[in-house]
Amino acid sequence: MTQNGKRDDDFTPYVWKSNDFGKTWQNMAKGIPLGPVNVIREDPKSSSILYLGTDSGVFVSKDAGKTWQVLGGNLPTVYVHDLVIHPRDNIIVIATHGRGMWSWTPILSTNRKKKRKKKTSFSKKVAEQTKAHSRYFNEKMNEAKAGVIPPALIALLKKTISENLYPHDRFQRQWFPELDDILIKKFEEEWQAHEHIRQNFLAADPAQAAALIEAKLGLSAILANHPHTLVMIYRKLISGFIQRLHRRQEEREDILQELLSRFLADKIFRIQKKYNANFSQMPSFTSYFMVCVRNIYVDIVREGRFLMLKRNSETIESRQMEFTAAENPLQSAVLAEEYEKLEAILQLHPSQRWRIILCLKLKLRFPVHSDDVRRCFPNCSPDDITPLSRDFRASKDRVMYKAIVPIFNRYEKNRVQADTLRKWVEGKITLLITHLNKMHQASVYNSKNIPDLLSLFFQERYGHDQKKN
C-alpha cells in the first residue's frame, strides 16, 4: 500500500506492507528518494518483485521492498500516475503525466529452468539502467553545484515572480525596478548553499516547482526569513518618496542613507514582529510600510532641524517642512488609504463631526476658515467668526481656550469650562490615534506624527490651504 501527502505539502515517501491482513504494517520506504509515491504493483510471476511509481519515475525491488533500484534506461524522470502489468504479455504499462504512455518488458521467465538465467539478466539490465540514470542525475547535480540553474527553472522563476507573487499592477516596475533581479539573486544564493533545495527542484514537476518558489520568495517568506532583502526591494520607492517630499536636493541622499540605516538596524524587525495582516492584500502592506518610512523621515528632519536651530539660531518657522500633497503624487497615493481611515473614524461621530474638526484645527494651530466655523455653528455671527479664525500659534493653550470658550457657550446648549474643552479635545486626538493604530495592527501613529497627517487630511479633503500667508 502507498500513501501520498503532497496535497498537504508532505513530500515524504510512504510505502507499507502487511503479512497478517492489515493487523500490523511494515515500512518499505527505505532507499526511496524524497517525493510522493503514487502506485505500487506486485509482479504476477514473483511476489518478491515490486514496481513502484513515484513523482520522479519508477523504482524496482527484487527482495520484497528491502532495497530499491531506479528503473532508468530511456524512461525519463517523470511523474508516474499508474502502473499495469499485462497478465498475458508480461508487459508493464507506465502512465505518466505529460510524457505519454510507456511499456517495459521485465526479463522474467515463466519457465523454472530459465529462471536463474533470466534473473541474472534482469539484475544486469537494472544495474545498467541505474548507472545511466545516476550518471544523468550526477551531471545535473554537478551543474547545480557549479551555480547553474536549469534554463526551464529560470523561466518558471521569472514567470512566477511577475504573474503570481509580485504582479505588475500592484508592484509597478517603475517603483520596483530591481525586484526581479533581487529575488532571482536570493534564489541563486539558496540554490548554491543548500543541496536539498536543488534535489527538490530537480525532482519536481512545474506545478510543484512553482509552489516551492512561492514558498521561498513570497512576501511573507521574504519578510520572515530575509527582512533586509525586503528593504532593498522597496529602496526605489523610498528614494522616490524622499525626492518628492524633501525640497533641499543636497540633503536627499544623506536622508535616504540615514533612513535605510535605521530601517535595517531596527524598524524592519519590528515590522516583521508586529505585522499580522493578510499578505494577499499587497497594497495594504505597502501603505503600512510607507507610513513607517514617513515616520522615520519626519524624525530625521526634526532632528536635523533641531541641530540647525542650535548651530545657526534659526527659527523653526524658517525651515518648516512643506507637506503639499498636490506636488507629491507618490505621497498622495500612499496617504489616500490613511484619509479613508480618518473619514471612517469621523463618521463614527456624525453629530460631533464638525465640532471635532474645528477643535482639532484650533488645538493643532491649523488655519481656521469661516466655512469651518459655519459648519460647526450655522448661526454664528461674523463678529464671532473673527476670534475663532485668528492665529493662535504664538499663544499657549490656556490663552487659546479662554478666548474660544465664550463663543462655544454662546451657540451650544451645554456650557463648558476652558479646562473641560481642553480635555475633550485631547481625548479626541487620543481616540484618533487609537483607532488608526488598530486599523494598522501596529503602533504607527503617536502624538508627534498625527499633526502632520491631519494637516494633509484637512488640506486634501476640505480644500483650504493649511499654511498661513
Mean pLDDT of the region 447-453: 85
Residues contacting 384, CB < 8 A, separation 6+: 373, 377, 407, 410, 411
CA torsion sign for 375, 381, 387, 390 is positive
pLDDT at 259 over 50: yes
Whole-angstrom distance, CA of residue 10 vs CA of residue 26: 20
| Residue 442 CB partners (closer than 8 Å, separation 6+) | 271, 274, 275, 288
**Residue 107 dihedral angles phi and psi, to the nearest 5°:** -85, 75
| Paired strand residues for 85 | 92
Specify the pLDDT at position 406.
92
Eight-class DSSP state of 33: P
Architecture of domain 2-144: 7 Propeller (2.130)
pTM of the model: 0.40
Mean pLDDT, residues 427-445 taken together:
83
Written as nine digits, the cell of 170 is 500592484
How far is the C-alpha of 331 from the C-alpha of 63, rounded, in Å?
70
Each residue of 415-434: pLDDT tens digit?
889 999 999 999 899 988 88
With bands split at pLDDT 50, 70 and 90, how would you rate the model's confidence at 254? confident
CATH 2.130.10.10 region(s) of the chain?
A: 2-144
Could you give phi then psi for residue 270, rounded to 5 degrees? -70, -35
The pLDDT of residue 275: 66
Antiparallel, parallel or unpaired: β 14-17 and 50-54: unpaired
- Asked whether the predicted pLDDT for residue 246 surpasses 70, the reply is yes
Q: State the pLDDT at residue 465.
A: 45
